[in-house]
Amino acid sequence: MQEPIKIYNTAVEAFLEVIGGKWKPVILFHLTFGKKRNGELMRLMSGVTQKMLTQQLGELVEAGIVARISYNQVPPKVEYELTEYGWSLKELLHLMCRWGDIHAERVYGDKVSILFTPPQVEDKENTGP
């Protein structure tokens, strides 16, 4: 049989099915700046629990977007990095960041604080001190 086994209304839904988790875009965003260890991600993403981080990372690994590199040693060392396929999301993720940045300023003005701001976004305007 050649019937479709999967039906989407739009391809956007296919995107959301993979990237739609609460923390996934944030994880991926951080990985666009290089491979990261579990602990690093925990520190970067204040608010996430170990369980959620592990779970979401696992789903991203299954989807072929993130690679998990485990060094067999003790204490354990595990690194996560984007696969080649995963890198195709970089532009998207950085656009999200830029839009969020503009939106945050639009809504909160100078009463918002963004802890991690990549170099690129900072370039948008060089408002001196």
Q: Report angle CA 47, 48, 50 to the nearest 5 degrees.
A: 135
Residue 2 binds which one of its own copies, DNA, none, with CB within 5 to 8 A depending on kind?
its own copies
Of the candidates 55, 62, 53, the one whose C-alpha atom is nearest the C-alpha of residue 83 is 62
**Contact range with its own copies by CB under 8 A, out of 54-62, 71-79, 116-124:** 116-124
Number of residues engaging DNA in binding (CB under 7 A): 22
**Contact range with its own copies by CB under 8 A, out of 21-29, 54-62, 66-74, 76-84:** 21-29
* Residue 122 in tokens: 């900072």
Tell me: does residue 39 bind DNA (CB under 7 A). yes
**Contact range with DNA by CB under 7 A, out of 2-10, 52-60, 101-109, 113-121:** 52-60
Among 18, 44, 48, 63, binds DNA (CB under 7 A): 48
Find the shortest distance in angstroms from Cβ 89 to DNA: 18
Contacts with its own copies, residue ranges (CB under 8 A): 2-16, 18, 20, 22, 25-26, 29-30, 44-47, 85, 88-89, 91-93, 95-104, 106, 108, 110-117, 121
